[in-house]
Structure 1
Amino acid sequence: MDFPVLETKRLQLTNITEQHIDRYFEIMSKDEVTKYYGMPSLTDREQARSLIHSFSERFAEKKSMRWGIIWRDTNEFIGTVGLNNWSPYSRKAEVGYELHPDFWGKGITTEAVSEVIAYAFTKLELYRIGAVTFPENHSSSKLLEKLGFQKEGVLRGYLYQKEQNHDAFMFSILKREFLGEE
Structure 2
Amino acid sequence: MKNTNLKSNRITLRLIKPSDLAAIHLLHSLPKVDEFNTLGIPENIQETQAVIQSWIAEHELDEIKNYTFAIEHIQTKEFIGLFGLKLWNKKNRRGEVWYKIHPDYWRKGFATESVNLVLDFGFETLNLHRIQAGCAVDNIGSIKVLEKVGMIREGRGRQTLPLKNGWSDNFEYSILETDERKK
Pairwise CA RMSD: 1.8
Structure 2: 5+ residue stretches without partners: none
Matched residue count? 180
**Which stretches of structure 1, 4 residues or longer, exceed 6 Å deviation after superposition?**
none
Q: 2:162 aligns with which of 155, 160, 163?
A: 160
Matched, 1:101 2:117: no
Q: Does 1:46 align with 2:37?
A: no
Q: Which stretch has the larger CA shift, 43-52 or 8-17?
A: 43-52
Q: CA-to-partner distance for each residue in 1:35-93, whole Å, 9 max, x for gaps?
A: 10122112311122112112123342632111100111111112011212543331001
Q: What displacement does 1:2 show?
A: 4.8
Deviations 1:3-50 (A, max 9, x none): 611111001111101100001101110010011012211231112211
The structural deviation recorded for 1:170 is: 0.4
> Aligned residue for 2:112?
110
Aligned equivalent of 2:144, options 142, 145, 169: 142
| Partner SS for 1:9 | coil
Which amino acid letter does the alignment assign opposite residue 66 of structure 2? Answer: S
Shift of 1:160: 1.5
Q: The residue matched to 1:176 in structure 2 has which SS?
A: coil
Gap change, CA 1:3 and 1:47, over 3 Å in 2: farther
CA distance in 2, matches of 1:94, 1:79: 17
Using the size of structure 1 for normalisation, the TM-score is 0.92
Give 1:64-143 correspondences, 5 Å limit.
64-143=66-145
- Residue 179 (structure 1) shift: 5.5
Instruction: Name stretches of at least 5 consecutive residues in structure 1 with no aligned partner.
Output: none
For the residues of structure 1 that align with 2:11 and 2:175, how far apart are their CA atoms?
Answer: 23
Cα pair distance change 1:85/1:35, threshold 3 Å: farther
Residue 27 (structure 2) aligns with: 27
